[in-house]
Amino acid sequence: MNENLPPCPECSGVYTYEMGALYVCPECGHEWPAGGEAAAEAEAEAGGPKVIKDAVGNVLADGDTVTVVKTLKVKGSPTGIKAGTKVRNIRLVDGVDGHDIDCKVDGFGPMQLKSSVVKKA
């Protein structure tokens, strides 16, 4: 078996193989492209670039627009950031305490957010 092939995204089977430009799982018959998100996840598991996902599981990238999914308390502000607030042009960083998004929130200014409290818009 080739150790570099990703497991099947449907059944997590480890016996995947390449067939042209596709990966194929012989256990469930699922086929998926040999590039894209599955390859990025496999590269991250192998020690490559870190893949940052939102609260729903979508892969985030620099410049994306995200929506806050729950109301967040902000130190020094009586209201905080309400659920549903859109944040544009995010930057992914290796922050402190799991804060992996650097952004500017309208009405609050620059701050860092956790990817677990946002979803891709």
How many C-beta neighbours within 10 Å does residue 112 have? 15
User: If residue 87 lies in a helix (H) or strand (E), which one and from where to where?
Assistant: strand 86-87
> What pLDDT, on the 0 to 100 scale, is given for residue 3?
63
- Which among 111, 2, 118, 121 is positioned nearest to 54, based on CA atoms? 118
The percentage of the chain sitting over the pLDDT mark of 70, rounded to a whole number, equals 85
What contacts 40, CB < 8 A, 6 or more positions away?
49, 51, 59
Q: How confident is the model at residue 120 (pLDDT cuts 50, 70, 90)?
A: very high
- Whether 84 and 66 have beta carbons less than 8 Å apart is answered as no
| pLDDT averaged over every residue in the chain | 84
Residue 78 contacts by C-beta under 8 Å, 6 or more apart in sequence?
none
Q: Give the Cα separation of 96 and 94 in Å (integer).
A: 7
In angstroms, rounded to a whole number, what is the distance separating the alpha carbons of residues 90 and 66? 8
0.75 exceeded by pTM: no
Q: Give the model's pLDDT for residue 24.
A: 87
Q: Which residue has the higher pLDDT, 38 or 59?
A: 59
